Structure 1
Amino acid sequence: MLTPKFAHVKQSFHVELKKRINEYFTTTGKSTTGGIRLFSKALFLILAITYTYIQLVFFTPGVLASVGLCILMGLLVASIGFNVMHDGGHGSFSRSTAVNKVAAVTAEILGASHFMWNMKHNVIHHAFTNIDGIDDDIDAKPFLRMTSTQKYYKMHRFQHVYFIVLYAIFHLYWVLFSDYKKYFSGKIGEMPIKKMKPVDHLTFWGFKLVHYALFFVIPIVVLGFSTWIIGFSIVSLITGFTLSIVFQLAHTVEHTEFPMPDEGGRLQDEWAVHQLKTTANFATRSKLVSWYVGGLNFQVEHHLFPKISHIHYPAINKIVKQACAEYNVVYVEYPRMSSAVISHVNFLRQMGKA
């Protein structure tokens, strides 16, 4: 597939939207980065997962307490990904490039290559959201059919049921297989990754070793294999399902679109309108959901302004909605997380029909 080209329009909605958002930050005098609120959240999450890890590995409480701590650790791994790694990877955690890099590297310690994530997420997904054949986030072939342009198999009739299992093993697949597939093939889907520098290779393999030492070798030596495999499985399944469902609710629901370029590689809309048609918000009034998922329930605002920290999404949400209303641009939002989950299941059911 040719690299798609977005439409160019005389009265750009994107230009007007950026103007209004810039005016907001100029008027309020606020920085676009996370500030003390994000630093304190990151510190809390890192201390929480460190405490949980030490308790599980070196003190090992009773069975029920250990299961509870494993579930908590899985939720913490996902939340650090949402809040710390994600903002750091987008350069919105801090004004300091070095601090952003440190925040992004938390992904490496927890098992995922930041280099590969940056290519997959920042370079491909954010540019070409929901475009089949390019956006790797909607490529779960042959197990899931995420758009009508993908090949249909009879097993897809039940994908709205078995997706739970696939989402749960996502973290394990990512840690043990996906990164290596990208590394050795030099591609994400059909898109080539940029050439890795020596430091990128060292970082990739060095942090893989750190991750395996922390989450495989040390626990097995201290606890024994059987205890470790049970605990690790719980952590990984919780992490995988949580990461998967949050990201899927943002793009694969009933009201989002999956535009395809014409034969010349041209798309119908300008980039910002494309993002609004392919992205959905959910539970934006829930402070608990917003805190836990790092503002990724404000996915529309994130896709339009990925360099702005999620701390500011509730404020700029009002500006984006107003602009959409004035320009008659679609804005997809589900009032509750439960309604977004139902819509995602309904979407999978629809895609499971021949």
Structure 2
Amino acid sequence: MALPRFAATRSFHTELKTRINHYFEESGQRMTGDAKLIFKGALLVGLMAGLYTHLVFFTPAWGWALLECAVLGCVIAAIGFNVMHDGAHGSFSRFAWVNKLAAYTLGVLGGSPFMWNSKHNLIHHTYTNIEGHDDDINIQPWMRMATEQPKHALHRYQHLYFWFLYCMLYISWIFVMDYQKYFTRQIGAIGLKEMNTGEHVSFWSFKAVNLLLYVALPIYVVGFLPWLTGFLVSTAVAGFVLSMVFQLAHTVEHAAFPVPCPTTHKLEDEWAIHQVRTTANFATNNKVISWLVGGLNFQIEHHLFPKISHVHYPAISKIVQQVCAEFDITYNNYARTRYAVASHVGFLRQMGRAA
């Protein structure tokens, strides 16, 4: 499958970069994270280590254990949003080794930093919402997320059962999807670059560490049934939270799903306009949500400037909105989280009705 090509004009992107660069020059700030972000990252990692230690080695009563497992799932998602995500984009810190360390938290949590970089940084951030290229909208055959995807009768009910599949995201990511990509050397229709020896070793080492920490050791200490129950609760919560935050960014009623010309493979918009049209923000005035989801409620700013840490998104969002207004480009922003959730459910219903 030929890769889509964006329009050659870059006037919108050029103007955005000019103003954003001017903002940082005037404010004297670095584009990367600050001391507060480092503290938040350390706090989240420490909280996870504490919960894990208490659950495995001190074995609380069932009620407390289930509650702690649910909180652990939320903390896993928060580390993904706040630490791993910025680290993988090179924006967590001005020091490359700190970014690498932050990105590698994904490996300890069971994912593959190599696969994430290929799937998310390289493919999703380039071909957002383009069927056949953006693997994030490929939940087939269970869900229909674009009009070009096949229709099945089951999809009529996807707005009712989506929550169950979202709960399965994390566990399927760890035990299925990474391995599929590794052995097929494919992410959707796009081939993976050749992995070097270090990347192969990293892939298998992190998988082994995760199995040891989250499967073998807990089973040995607390027994199979308590482990299985706690593992399913924590991974279900983590999967649902991760899924919802990322789905609210792109699969809502106002987000575009551009289709390249079938003969020339060209897209109508330049890359930056494409990113704005295919993305949506939510609850940007809610500081608590912004803190918890690592600024990923400012998804438009993130897609336009992934190398800028999320701590700067509230400030630069004003600049992005101004430039969008000047270029007559719709800036999708849901004032509250519940509005975005309702729009996502409406989108799923709309895609399902066509089936």
Q: TM-score, normalised by structure 1?
A: 0.99
Aligned-partner SS, 2:267 = coil
The 5-angstrom pairing of residues 1-354 of structure 1 reads: 1-9=1-9, 12-262=11-261, 263-354=263-354
Structure 1 segments of 4 or more deviating over 6 A? none
1:297 Cα deviation after fit:
0.2
Q: Tell me how far apart the structure 1 counterparts of residues 204 and 150 of structure 2 sit (CA, whole Å).
A: 35
Q: Tell me how far apart the structure 2 counterparts of residues 276 and 302 of structure 1 sit (CA, whole Å).
A: 10
1:126 Cα deviation after fit:
0.1
2:6 maps to a residue whose letter is F
1:60 Cα deviation after fit:
1.1
Residue ranges of structure 2 left out of the alignment (5+ in a row): none
1:63 Cα deviation after fit:
1.4
Q: Tell me how far apart the structure 2 counterparts of residues 343 and 37 of structure 1 sit (CA, whole Å).
A: 33
Q: Tell me how far apart the structure 2 counterparts of residues 38 and 194 of structure 1 sit (CA, whole Å).
A: 32
Q: Tell me how far apart the structure 1 counterparts of residues 276 and 148 of structure 2 sit (CA, whole Å).
A: 20
Aligned-partner SS, 1:269 = coil
1:198 maps to a residue whose letter is T
Q: Tell me how far apart the structure 2 counterparts of residues 154 and 169 of structure 1 sit (CA, whole Å).
A: 21
Q: Tell me how far apart the structure 1 counterparts of residues 122 and 225 of structure 2 sit (CA, whole Å).
A: 40
2:284 maps to a residue whose letter is T
Residue ranges of structure 1 left out of the alignment (5+ in a row): none
Q: Tell me how far apart the structure 2 counterparts of residues 151 and 63 of structure 1 sit (CA, whole Å).
A: 44
1:54 Cα deviation after fit:
0.6
Q: Tell me how far apart the structure 2 counterparts of residues 8 and 190 of structure 1 sit (CA, whole Å).
A: 24
Q: Tell me how far apart the structure 1 counterparts of residues 118 and 172 of structure 2 sit (CA, whole Å).
A: 18
The C-alpha deviation readout for 1:31-74, integer Å capped at 9, x for no partner, is 00001011000000001000000110011111111111001100
Q: Tell me how far apart the structure 2 counterparts of residues 142 and 49 of structure 1 sit (CA, whole Å).
A: 34
Q: TM-score, normalised by structure 2?
A: 0.99
Q: Tell me how far apart the structure 2 counterparts of residues 178 and 297 of structure 1 sit (CA, whole Å).
A: 25
1:179 maps to a residue whose letter is D
1:328 Cα deviation after fit:
0.6
Q: Tell me how far apart the structure 2 counterparts of residues 158 and 214 of structure 1 sit (CA, whole Å).
A: 37
Q: Tell me how far apart the structure 1 counterparts of residues 24 and 193 of structure 2 sit (CA, whole Å).
A: 34
Q: Tell me how far apart the structure 2 counterparts of residues 71 and 140 of structure 1 sit (CA, whole Å).
A: 25
1:353 Cα deviation after fit:
1.3
Q: Tell me how far apart the structure 2 counterparts of residues 146 and 120 of structure 1 sit (CA, whole Å).
A: 17
The C-alpha deviation readout for 1:155-208, integer Å capped at 9, x for no partner, is 000000111110001111001010000000001011001110100001000111
1:291 Cα deviation after fit:
0.4
Aligned-partner SS, 1:176 = helix
The size of the alignment, in residue pairs, is: 353
Q: Tell me how far apart the structure 2 counterparts of residues 282 and 67 of structure 1 sit (CA, whole Å).
A: 30
Q: Tell me how far apart the structure 2 counterparts of residues 255 and 35 of structure 1 sit (CA, whole Å).
A: 33
Aligned-partner SS, 2:353 = coil
1:98 Cα deviation after fit:
1.0
Aligned-partner SS, 1:250 = helix
Q: Tell me how far apart the structure 2 counterparts of residues 60 and 290 of structure 1 sit (CA, whole Å).
A: 33
Q: Tell me how far apart the structure 2 counterparts of residues 222 and 21 of structure 1 sit (CA, whole Å).
A: 52
1:172 maps to a residue whose letter is I
